[in-house]
Structure 1
Amino acid sequence: MKKSKLFWLSFGLVLSIAMSCTSNIDKKGRFLLKGNNELKEGNLKGAITYYDEALAIDPQFKDAFFNRGMANYQQAKLIEAISDFSEAINIDNTYVPALTQRAIAHLDFGENYKALEDTKALLQINEEDGQAYFIRGLVQTEMKSYDEALNAFNKAIQFSPDNAELYINSATVHYYRNDLDAAVVDLEKAMELNPRESKLHNLWSLIHFENGDYQKALESVEEAINLDKDHSYYYNNRGLYKLYLDKPDDALEDINYSLKQNTKNYYAIRNKGIYYFKKGEMSLASKFLNEAYKADPEMPLLSEYLPQLDSEATQK
């Protein structure tokens, strides 16, 4: 499950600054607006250039730091993004957009405890900040603190009961805990709220797979792909289901596609090991399955295949 979303700054304050002030304040406001326009157009480097100009005029311009951080974040420059968000927070330690985005960037960078600290700060500012609870749930899920994650998602649901994604994340935690009945309850609620959410159908596919219904799993993940073709792990899941439906060549195509998008997708590496296991190529199976094991010894299915490899090696 991964994981984060961009939370965009409202530019209302920025516009009022630019329209009501003159001289240097007017100039920095114009540079900020030009940067915002470039950001909207997807010209991230151009946006950063304008934000730099605004900051050269006013080094305490928190909105420019925040927006530059957003531009860096969209380029996956997480260190630079965190630095910019931190500068904005140093200027105003109650600046909610910067605290929120820094928490997300910390999460993406693997700095889970720092992300939790930011959610704590957000909740001190507003104890009813549902977005902060949502991020906290994501962090706790990443840390495999599943009870705490469920508590956080449940709090977020209290403040946004019509948000399908919250139920999907709660269902995901139940799935990780192997509580499939509870996962289904959350997914059914999410389905009522937004049946066109791709992550919902992907999670349905995982549950069908756990229940041994590989055809339904395939149909569900294909629905997820139809709704959103950009998630590489959907293709990896489809590859896994095809392996269990005795379609190894089609499966390998999906698994390789997923790996091409993310070479560190260890679930895809595991699935490639399963592919070679089913093809009887045990040396290659061992290579990929053990690589996945080193990354995550608790990864599902490894405990099923690795002992069989050991048994094969012993018999030889």
Structure 2
Amino acid sequence: MSPQELADFLLNEVRLLCRESQHEQALDVVEQAIKHATDPTQAWLIKGQILFGLHLYDDAIKAAEEALKYGDNAEVLKLKGNVIATKGDLEGALETFNELEKLASDDPDTYFLKGSIFAEMGNMDEAIANFDRAIEVRPDMGHAWYNKAMVFFNQERYGAAINALDSAIEFMEDATEPIFIKGMAHRKLGQSKEALECFLTAAEMWEMRALVTNSQTVYLEALTAIENALEIDVTNIELWKKRGKLLYKLGHKEDARSILINTAELCVQEDNITDALATYDLLLELEPDNEEAQKAREDIGNIA
């Protein structure tokens, strides 16, 4: 095995360690790869990526600069620029991405990264121009469409934002956030029906993901979508039930219990026994030992 073949073998081991979140071990192995590699550019790049993920930004930049000693490399410049931007040095990041453009003018990431920096700097015209260039190179670049849409949204150009979001939704693997933002744009335009449809779709997608991942963050995103929907359709019993369920999943059990009981009582007052029973069924699904809820449900059942 040649020194470079050994280095490549070690880098494959590094990738496996990173997948298992064993980053300290991965750093030890990548050091061995750097020592053995005839051209250690890739090894330095991977080391920089690991350090970036560990929030060791200065060390990540040093790793990128070591890699660049062996020649210009687009992926290394992307890493360096992203780390510099994360540190808050937007001018420095833009300078790095300008170097990237000289090297990779046919790479859509070049213009996406520049557009993102210009947006952060408040230069919206340049941001849109660069997102457009990224899209010109790669029309199905969903996150470029999304970032362009967000520039339009922040400029209160809601119609243009919706058009860009439609493309983002078409091309992004996970389109939940664009669907939610599209709902916000429709709402700004007074298009309540369209906004409600977007909020309900986003809430359902987030809730399904939360059930799989049990992520509190995703449950909170689903709750945010439901609360936006409720502001449009405040009398919707199903939305109140969903809000109660999501609050319960987020640990706000007393608030959830109160919402579900109040919803059930309101249903009874409106002679909507079916929804009252369904609401107590949901509460009992969440709290099978809730004797008060069980009794209330039985009382309502007797009315029916």
TM normalised by structure 1 equals 0.62
Q: Report the CA distance between 1:239 and its aligned residue.
A: 7.5
- 2:228 corresponds in structure 1 to 241
2:200 aligned with 1:219: yes
In 2: Cα distance, 1:217 partner to 1:25 partner:
52
Partner of 2:59: 80
User: Distance between the aligned counterparts of 2:172 and 2:11, measured in 1?
Assistant: 36
Residue 187 of structure 1 deviates from its aligned partner by: 1.8
SS state at 2:139 partner: coil
Rounded to whole Å, the distance in 1 between the matches of 2:52 and 2:43 is 14
In 2, Cα distance between the equivalents of 1:227 and 1:244? 22
Pick the aligned partner of 1:129 from 107, 115, 118: 107
Deviation at 1:97, TM superposition (A): 0.9
| 1:100 correspondence with 2:96 | no
Q: CA deviation at 1:220?
A: 4.4
Q: Take 1:28 and 1:128, find their aligned partners in 2: how far apart are those partners?
A: 30
User: Alignment identity in percent?
Assistant: 18
Distance (whole Å) between structure 2 residues aligned to residue 98 and residue 195 of structure 1: 26
Q: CA RMSD in A?
A: 3.2
SS in 2 for 1:91: coil
1:152 and 2:133 are equivalent in the alignment: no
Stretches of structure 2 that go unaligned for 5 or more consecutive residues are 235-239, 251-304
Aligned to 1:175: 153
Moved more, 169-178 or 42-51: 42-51
Give the Å deviation of 1:243.
8.0
Question: Mean Cα displacement is larger for which, 193-202 or 97-106?
Answer: 193-202
Secondary structure (helix, strand or coil) at the match of 1:82 reads helix
Aligned to 1:206, which of 184, 200, 206? 184
Counterpart AA for 1:218: F
Find out whether 1:165 has 2:147 as its counterpart. Answer: no
Q: Whole-Å Cα distance in 2 between the matches of residues 209 and 77 of structure 1?
A: 41
CA offset digits 1:144-186 (Å, max 9, x no partner): 2111110000000001012222212211111011101111111
Q: How many equivalent pairs are there?
A: 232
In the superposition, relative to structure 1, how do residues 142 and 95 fare at CA in structure 2: closer, same or farther (>3 Å)?
same
Q: CA 1:100/1:195 → structure 2, altered by over 3 Å: closer, same or farther?
A: closer
Distance 1:71 1:146, change over 3 A: same
Deviation, 1:198, is 2.0
Distance 1:216-1:43 versus aligned 2 partners, 3 A rule: same
Asked whether the equivalents of residues 103 and 119 of structure 1 are also in contact (C-alpha less than 8 Å), the reply is yes
2:26 corresponds to which residue?
47
Task: Give the corresponding residue for 1:31.
Answer: 10
TM-score normalised by L of structure 2? 0.65
